[in-house]
Structure 1
Amino acid sequence: MWVSDNARLALLELLSRGSLKRRRTQLDAYDALAELPWTRATGRRDEIGMVEERRAELAGLIDRVWPAWRDVLVDLVAAGLPPTPEGYGRLLDIERAAALPELPDRINRRTAASLTASHSKASLSESRRGALGGTDTSHDGAIRLRPPAGLSARTVNGVIDLGGIAAVLGEVSIPERALVDGLAFEGEMRAVLLVENLGAWRDLSPPPGWLLAHVPGWDTATVGHMLNCIQGIPVVHFGDLDPNGVRIMLHLRKRVPNLKWFLPEFWFELIDVCGLQASWPQDLELDFAPAPVRVLAARGLWLEQERIVLDPRIPEALNAALIPDARDQCGFGSVEGP
């Protein structure tokens, strides 16, 4: 019962303040103390008070389960913090911040959390970020690309032929730190195609000059850094036509307002052949979507992108998506944001 920090803090709060509030993180300790003759009702909701005549018994218990409690209480008072789970957590953050080693200019966010919080999966609060000083944190994602022939990447460390690497390995991977640190693409790049699913990204045959980037679902942080390195290049998104695919499209458009949506007309010819059952939420925003997508939603169907990825008409449809009046020339081949 009294092994966890939160349980022992319940004893400390009751002993030092004379009362204990009921909290979700201390329910077992609160309920156990409420049953003892050491406590009494205070008249306030979700609060018990200490029976002063039983102080010695409470002090004896906390001495046994937490011998260092007096030092902890002194440190809390000195820091102006309450003897609660939140106050104790803040005290530990302060102690960890004081013991930080010399930090580099950038570290991974998990490393930062392990140094400033109780574990690497903890959130980086404002105070924890403040403890890092001028050190930046990174997710350290990477984006998988299929670059066109002749495309290179330049960094402070030199230039590398991305097209040449892809000719040998089939693809290249660009880390977040290189993108953040000023990587620049050099060479011809006609357009960028963001592809949601891995199989479609790997098997699609793009027209010459197209850069294909794999954007797995909601994992868009690294692709955002990549798009910051590309100015004046059309960007097209190709994903599943289902509720989540629509949400991802809307999410990406917040970063790329003029993002085009790859919707070749021949895809919708497959609705009755390979349309899959789906439940489309009533509150899903579809006003921006072309009529065929709204028809899919009304019929409770969805289309997966892999079904058309090997269609020989894909390259021509992608090129048509770049034409400003593509909706007239290619049915509903692309849609720009309103």
Structure 2
Amino acid sequence: MNNALEIASLGRLVETGLIKLVGRNDQLLRRFETARWIEPTGRKSEWRVRNGTAPSLEARLSEMAPAWREDFQFLRSIERDPYDPRAIEALPALKRQKTVAGMLNRRNWNAAAGLGPKHEPQIAPTATLTRDWVLRFRPNRGLRGVFAEQEVDFHETALALTECAVPERLWLRLQGLRGSSPKLAVTCENLGAYIDLAIPDTAMAIYSPGADIEAAVALLKHLPDAQWLHFGDIDPDGLEIAESLARETGRELNLYIPSFAEEYLPGRPMETPWHKTPDSPLFRELRRTQKRIFQEVFMLDHRLGDELAAMARETKRPPTS
């Protein structure tokens, strides 16, 4: 980055004659001042090229980046700022970048068109970028997915395979859902609870692992009329996950807390302290004692399945396509 910063700063000085002092270039500009290449203009944090020193600045720039003129022109042609050190640093990747159609993992694009897989790309993608999540859900009876290539009976698939697992790249080709929509869609935070959750055949369970909610959100957005519940750990992280799901899907927060949950108090020690809680005796007690309840403790309680079945019966069937 230091070389990129110097190249970008020299380029600005050679082409404009001026530069602003900011935190990242402070030491560099002090060096230029010591070399008597620049002087203050009298305006706050602004420096200019001293008379007669422009050739020295350009010589230094050409030494560091012999093709700087062509490089700056290239960066401007792809709407990047050559005075931005990040654009200079990304130049090798940007020059190698090729037009890509179809779908591409976003980390691969970021690495090829920028500074690395964890950085924002320096140019706009030409392909549909994916994270390549896999949507895992246990569908209700009668739900079908329509893709460009075929129509899939999700319920029959789950009967054969335990669940449906749809990669993001296939989900992006989904044209719509047909058949019977679920009365109830339950997102589950933990894998064991998701797999073993007792749900009626009019309801759906959706795996939403921790903060990784993107796949669950993608499915819930196709089920705008289904009643949604989030079933997770009764702790601050579980509450935050539920709030994120509600926010990303534009729904009211709807936590599923088993009616018999207080029987499982006092709970387990906390990792993340409570700061806010819904107003209920259970949450007040957990906050007072700084305890939490893992959702898995309910899984062998027969009342869990009975409650969900009753909720599904009381919910009106959403319209079908």
Give TM class, smaller chain.
Answer: 0.7 to 0.9
| Secondary structure, aligned partner of 2:35 | coil
Alignment partner, residue 219 of structure 1: 212
| Secondary structure, aligned partner of 2:135 | strand
Alignment partner, residue 67 of structure 2: 68
- The answer as to 2:194 corresponding to 1:198 is no
Change (3 A) 1:21 1:317: same
Change (3 A) 1:37 1:259: closer
Counterparts of 1:116-131 in structure 2, within 5 Å, are 117-123=114-120, 128=124
Q: Distance in 1 between matches of 2:202 and 2:74?
A: 63
Bigger relative CO (Cα 8 Å, ≥ 6 apart): 2
Counterparts of 1:312-327 in structure 2, within 5 Å, are 312-322=302-312
1:111 CA displacement: 5.3
Alignment partner, residue 165 of structure 2: 173
Change (3 A) 1:25 1:310: farther
Change (3 A) 1:204 1:73: closer
Counterpart amino acid of 1:101?
T
Deviations 1:132-163 (A, max 9, x none): 4xx65444422111235665433232233433
**8 Å contact from structure 1 (residues 81, 87) kept in 2:** no
| Secondary structure, aligned partner of 2:230 | strand
Q: Distance in 1 between matches of 2:182 and 2:71?
A: 61
**8 Å contact from structure 1 (residues 33, 39) kept in 2:** yes
Identity of aligned residues (%): 23
Larger displacement relative to structure 2 (151-160 or 312-321) = 151-160
Alignment partner, residue 48 of structure 1: 47
* Aligned mate of 2:177, from 184, 194, 205: 184
TM-score, L = length of structure 2: 0.77
Task: Please list every run of 5 or more consecutive structure 1 residues that lacks an aligned counterpart in the other structure.
Answer: 326-338
1:62 CA displacement: 2.0
Between Structure 1 and Structure 2, how many residues are aligned?
Answer: 311
1:250 CA displacement: 2.1
| Secondary structure, aligned partner of 1:265 | coil
Alignment partner, residue 255 of structure 2: 261
Counterpart amino acid of 1:269?
E
Larger displacement relative to structure 2 (219-228 or 192-201) = 219-228
Q: Distance in 1 between matches of 2:239 and 2:31?
A: 51
Task: Please list every run of 5 or more consecutive structure 2 residues that lacks an aligned counterpart in the other structure.
Answer: 316-321
Task: Give the alignment's Cα RMSD to 1 decimal.
Answer: 3.8
Q: Distance in 1 between matches of 2:264 and 2:76?
A: 70
| Secondary structure, aligned partner of 2:260 | helix
Alignment partner, residue 319 of structure 2: none
Alignment partner, residue 163 of structure 1: 155
| Secondary structure, aligned partner of 1:52 | coil
Alignment partner, residue 279 of structure 1: 273
Change (3 A) 1:185 1:294: farther
**8 Å contact from structure 2 (residues 39, 47) kept in 1:** yes
TM-score, L = length of structure 1: 0.74
| Secondary structure, aligned partner of 2:146 | strand
Counterpart amino acid of 2:124?
R
Deviations 1:220-265 (A, max 9, x none): 2222221233353322210111122222222222325256321112
**8 Å contact from structure 1 (residues 262, 321) kept in 2:** no
| Secondary structure, aligned partner of 1:261 | coil
